[in-house]
Amino acid sequence: MRVARVRMRMRKPVGSEGRQERGGRAGAGAVVVVGAGPAGVAAAVCAADQGVRVVLVDSAVRAGGQFYRQPDARWGARRPQVLHHGWRTWQRLTARLDAHLADGQVTHLAERHVWFVERAGGDGFVVHALGGSGQDRPETVRGDAVLLATGAYEKVLPFPGWTLPGVVTAGGAQAMLKGGLVLPPGRTVVVAGTGPLLMPVAAGLAAAGARVGALIESAGPGRLAWGAAKVAGHPAKLAEGARYAAALVWRGVPVRTGHAVVAAHGSVRLEAVTVAALDAEGRVRAGTGRRIACDALAVGHGLLPHTGLAGALGCRIEETAYGGWGVAVDGEQRTDLPGVWAAGEASGVGGAELALAEGEIAGRSIAARLRGREPDRRGCAAAAGTRAGLRAFARVIDGVYGPPAQWAERVGDDTVVCRCEEVPASAVRSAVAGLGATDLRSVKLLTRAGMGWCQGRVCAPGVAGVAGCAWSPASRVLAQPVPLAVLAREEGAAP
Amino acid sequence: MRLRRTTPQGLVRARPGPGFEVTLDGRPVPALPGRTVAAVLWEAGVVAWRTTRDGGRPRGVFCGIGVCFDCLVTVNDRPNQRACLVTVSAGDAIRTQEGVGDAGGSGADADAEAGGE
Amino acid sequence: MVGAACAFYAARAGLRTVLVDRGPVAGGTTGAGEGNLLVSDKEPGPELELALLSLELWRRLVAEDPGLRTAVEYEAKGGLVVGSEYAGLAALEEFAARQRAGGVAAVGVDASELRSLEPNLDGGLAGGVLYPQDCQVMPALAAAHLVREARRAGAVLRTGEVVTAVRRAAGDGGRVLGVRTSRGDIHAPAVVNAAGTWGGEIAALAGAHLPVLPRRGFVLVTEPLPPRTVRHKVYSADYVADVASDSAALQTSAVVEGTAAGPVLIGASRERVGFDRTFSLPAVRRLAAQAVGLFPVLGRVGVVRGYLGFRPYLPDHLPAIGPDARVPGLHHACGHEGAGIGLATGTGHLVAQGLIGEVPELDLAAFRPDRFGAEESG
């Protein structure tokens, strides 16, 4: 097994053991940016502009994250922009990235899966990653600072039939389309759940040739109208929404608000879904159930931040002021751990534009702080203004969308809630009622829900809902599975 | 209207390079460079390639971005690979996977060898 | 776990029992354990006697109720301690001989027999000792189901309730009147301190010194593997030395075992670092290296999870069990270090005997809670 090690230190600090502040260093230092989505790339480019050496570590082949995911470069797509919003912004950013890759200021380590970030005494960080097609080739990258721009993944709450092949996350369907230029097998796709992601997913699938049988949004027309009024100050956002809505009308996609998919049907794969209207409390209106034949269901109930690496480092994770959870950051996107920054969805879900602004602020802050200086307020002012506006917008979005309050009631006892360990809702309910479980951890210990391959990343919100207890991001020491031999043989932090 | 036959590749005007073959349980399946195992299988109309440990239920892509581990598959004798992350190469032998996918290798062999306890 | 067992045996003895926990059932060290019911790592002496009693009580519990056996994933799988010629095989055999004299079943195993017992073991090992009495349970389930049985026998479970004071009489030798909790007073003539790693705090509330301290441990969990990849609890002969060690420094000797659910657990680093919850890569690396050393086949197996817990230990590595002579009505059942799951049944049984005024089945002298004197000398 080959252990590669990438050293990106400008110079070896002398006698800096235990020193928190790195003031007085001649070199600007090096930062490891984990995640090459909008936040990570924006930060990398801004930090590199100011002389910081940057190692950009990312799991994908190409930079872009989930939002700007692209097919393999060899495919020579001449119109990639048709699957993307804000493509020109990304093109400008990647042009700057390419320039820094060419001049050596930024190194892009693609197809590397980071499993742990280690504090190396008082002297920077060691980022542990796995490369290779089997993700078994260990690599470590050292840096004076770390930016966690690890993005988000989709929350899906359980419902009968959600484990059938053909049921995918809305973001997953979009990722397969953007990255693999492929549609779910079959003819008809239903897009369902709640959140601002559903419209672009439905519009993208329809544009790419899928027959989108329906878009089912559980937020009711009242909520949506309230939200539209609240975001009147964001005309660009309203126009974006209107464009997707128009595209859906143009493609003949029926849109049902105030509705939910209450069951998926099929024996070995998805054959149909039942859609029903919801009342103001989020309960199914009796007699409104209607079956729609389909081959795929793209479903999502919002996004969850990847906070695993931050949590394992010991960074504080908190509820953000604009909805959901994230790594706690200050105005410069610094976490409560010196030397660690977080930006983008990892520090609170708010979309790609917010991620770009936060990335820029983080990159500037890192460049200044590694030199022991205060960041230039004027330089950050535009991005900070954008960030404030987009966080206010995210707060409205969070108020509009959200799973129907009574969703857990619809989860039948025999519905699997933990996909990995195949734990039915009944087991969760009896752990609470009969075995003294009162929180997510004790439910997990007593039922195995959340103990499987995904370590509860997928099922935890659903299990918490069924158990009637609170959800918060769990602390996990490993961000992804690591072969025992890699753990055993890695030499680690010793310089 | 040409809309009816739009494909993702057509939409973005992609010109993928020459394709190659991989196999799924020995059957040849066409593949394009840069695609993941999951994308190749979807393109071939395959929606499930794993069965679960307890219930033996079929599974395929769910999250599509490497988080959920539902799409586990055996690639070139390596079990438990996430199909949505692994990029295919010409000649890859992809195998559907049952239960634990023989992780750890020699569980079954070991039983045979020991002849019981 | 220990509290669950105390409540279970107390309720079965006919006592009105209230089980109070500030968290959920199995929320402390129990939920971070491996579920070892071991005699193999115990030297002859009081702890071994307690372990043998506890194993027998575990055996009776699951024999009486086959449903319980399944529910707690009880497996009489046996322990296998292995050594290389360099790593103390001779010392291991000598240790086993002394254990046999103390009532332990310990069967010497040569290199070829090792392979038939554990086909995936590294071929280079010289031999080992098989301990057929060693068993395993899933600790959180074991605690939860004992609590459930206790409730069936009349005990009341109160979770999410913090004990804020131990109430004592002004006169009458300051005897215990009950506890004050975040939800009010509970009146009782006897209070059992089964707070594990936090047992020193409860003792202090009652005005008694009990120096329970945390010893951190990491456990690694692999992806699910085919059944019987690892058949026994397997560990190297160094483990026994580590368990008995007084050193604060990191010690690791991997205990490798399969589970009913499929994953293999690799346990047992030992560090005295207070309640530091930071993930320690060096500790985990050593565990991993030793596990791969024992079972090379595990090298390409993925570790999906690691967790840590804090074992409650007392300076002489023996638990505190029984009435506290300094505070009438206060009983202790804590400080079992890494053996609380295994020793829980015996502890609960002995504590219940003390509560109803019976002569305990074992001499509790070695476990006397007041043996550490006042705080200054502790």
- Domains of chain C, residue spans: 2-72+138-212+316-377, 79-132+213-313
- Confidence bin at C86 (pLDDT 50/70/90): low
Q: Which of A3, A340, A445 to mutate to test the interface with C (most CBs of C within 10 A)?
A: A445
Whether residue C301 and residue B103 make contact (CB cut-off 8 A), yes or no, is yes
Rounded CA-CA distance C87/C236 in Å is 8
For residue range B6-40, what is the model confidence (pLDDT) as tens digits? 899 999 999 888 999 999 999 999 999 999 999 99
| pLDDT value of position A97 | 98
Euclidean distance between the first and the last CA atom of chain B, given in angstroms as a whole number: 71
- Please say if the pLDDT value at position A20 is more than 60: no
Q: Which of B5, B53, B57 is opposite residue A163, by nearest beta carbon? A: B57
Q: In chain B, count H helices and then E strands.
A: 3, 8
Chain C residue closest in CA terms to A314: C278
| pLDDT value of position A326 | 97
- Please say if the pLDDT value at position B110 is more than 50: no
Q: Tell me if chain B has a CB within 8 Å of the CB of A131.
A: no
User: What top-level class would CATH report for the domain A158-300?
Assistant: alpha beta
Q: Tell me if chain A has a CB within 8 Å of the CB of C297.
A: no
Least confident of A280-284, A334-338, C209-213: A280-284
More confident residue, A74 or A366: A366
Q: What is the pTM of this model?
A: 0.91
Whether residue A438 and residue C299 make contact (CB cut-off 8 A), yes or no, is no
Where does chain A hold its CATH 3.50.50.60 domain(s)? 4-153+304-396, 158-300
For residue range C139-197, what is the model confidence (pLDDT) as tens digits? 999 999 999 999 999 999 999 999 999 999 998 889 999 999 999 999 999 999 999 99
Rounded CA-CA distance C329/C366 in Å is 20
Q: Tell me if chain C has a CB within 8 Å of the CB of A477.
A: yes
For the CA atoms of chain B, what is the radius of gyration? Answer: 17
- What value does the mean pLDDT take over residues C330-352? 96
Chain A: nearest CA to C144, how far in angstroms? 5
Q: Which of B8, B45, B53 is opposite residue A177, by nearest beta carbon? A: B8
- Please say if the pLDDT value at position A13 is more than 50: no
- Confidence bin at A492 (pLDDT 50/70/90): very low
Average pLDDT along chain A: 91
Is CATH 3.50.50.60 the classification given to domain A4-153+304-396?
yes
- Please say if the pLDDT value at position B115 is more than 60: no
Q: Tell me if chain C has a CB within 8 Å of the CB of A107.
A: no
For residue range A345-382, what is the model confidence (pLDDT) as tens digits? 999 999 999 999 999 999 999 999 999 999 999 999 99
Query: How is domain C79-132+213-313 classified at the CATH fold level?
Result: D-Amino Acid Oxidase; Chain A, domain 2 (3.30.9)
Whether residue A439 and residue C282 make contact (CB cut-off 8 A), yes or no, is no
Rounded CA-CA distance C338/C32 in Å is 10
For residue range C186-200, what is the model confidence (pLDDT) as tens digits? 999 999 999 999 999
- Please say if the pLDDT value at position A444 is more than 70: yes
Domains located in chain B, CATH noted: 16-100 (3.10.20.440)
For residue range A181-197, what is the model confidence (pLDDT) as tens digits? 999 999 899 999 999 99
Residues 6 or more apart in contact with residue B78 via CB below 8 angstroms: A134
Amino acid in position C20: V
Rounded CA-CA distance C190/C180 in Å is 13
Specify the DSSP class assigned to residue A300.
Answer: E
Q: Report how far apart, in Å, the C-alpha atoms of C191 and of each of C144, C311, C330, C350, C353 are.
A: 21, 22, 5, 15, 14
User: What top-level class would CATH report for the domain C2-72+138-212+316-377?
Assistant: alpha beta
Rounded CA-CA distance C320/B36 in Å is 58
Whether residue A451 and residue C261 make contact (CB cut-off 8 A), yes or no, is yes
Whether residue A488 and residue C299 make contact (CB cut-off 8 A), yes or no, is yes
* CA A102, A104, A105, A109 torsion-angle sign: positive
| pLDDT value of position A4 | 52
Q: Tell me if chain A has a CB within 8 Å of the CB of B51.
A: no
| pLDDT value of position C243 | 58
A positions 405-434 inside 8 Å of C (CB): 421, 431, 434
Q: Tell me if chain A has a CB within 8 Å of the CB of C191.
A: no
For residue range A381-410, what is the model confidence (pLDDT) as tens digits? 999 999 999 999 999 999 999 888 889 999
| pLDDT value of position A202 | 97
Element housing A200 (H / E): helix A198-207
Identify all chain C residues contacting A312, using CB atoms and an 8 Å cutoff: 279
Rounded CA-CA distance C247/C60 in Å is 37
- What value does the mean pLDDT take over residues B94-110? 63
Chain C residue closest in CA terms to B105: C297
Percent of chain B exceeding pLDDT 70 equals 81
Rounded CA-CA distance B101/B73 in Å is 8
Q: Which of C145, C277, C303 is opposite residue A478, by nearest beta carbon? A: C303
